[in-house]
Amino acid sequence: MRAVVVGGSAGGMEALIAILSPLPAGYPLPVVVAHHLHRTDEGRFAEHLGRKISMRVAEAGDKMRAEPGRVHVAPANYHLLVERDGSLSLTVDPRVSFARPSIDVLFESAARAWGEGLAGVILSGANDDGAEGMRAIREHGGLCIAQDPETAQSRPMPTAAIEAASIEIVLTPERIAELLGAMAGLDEAPDGDGAAAEEEGR
């Protein structure tokens, strides 16, 4: 794997902390996050996340490189994209699914840049932003992971992505953390039976 992208909205912060807090400061992959933010956020989301996890957290800047061991957060009022060379860029293009930053915009650009080396994670949220982005990740050979809607504060976002991209890896935030650790060689991955059992229990 080359990178991880994560998208969330209502209820997504709690899930994001549960996923990232077990990962070490030296996690060997970059993590890029698009979360629906109020236009007056002014960096508070990134600051709060940085106090809760070991990895470095920073708001993404235009032309910044996506670095291993760092969580790059899309700032309020900007779409965050991944360029072909792995650098990040910001735009003020129109809102997508009523959101800027848009999860679809991040996921679709990341899928083009990182292809089969990308893992996408969709979390709690109240609309369908991220569903088309997850479909793009699957079409480019990446790994699609969804928070189990039964554990989400708001179910529509993970549910829409599961349906749009035929996502089979549906896990609790804690199990997603285990899987991301295993992808980087830090631990054992949740086995298929465990993932299937959780999906059947939804």
What is the set of active-site residues? 9, 36, 129
**Residues 103, 130 contacting (CB under 8 angstroms):** yes
Helical segments of the chain, H only: 12-20, 44-52, 103-114, 131-139, 156-165, 173-183, 192-200
Q: Note the residue count of the chain.
A: 202
- Residues in Cβ contact with 190 at an 8 Å cutoff, skipping those fewer than 6 apart: 171, 175, 178, 179, 182
**Residues 121, 149 contacting (CB under 8 angstroms):** no
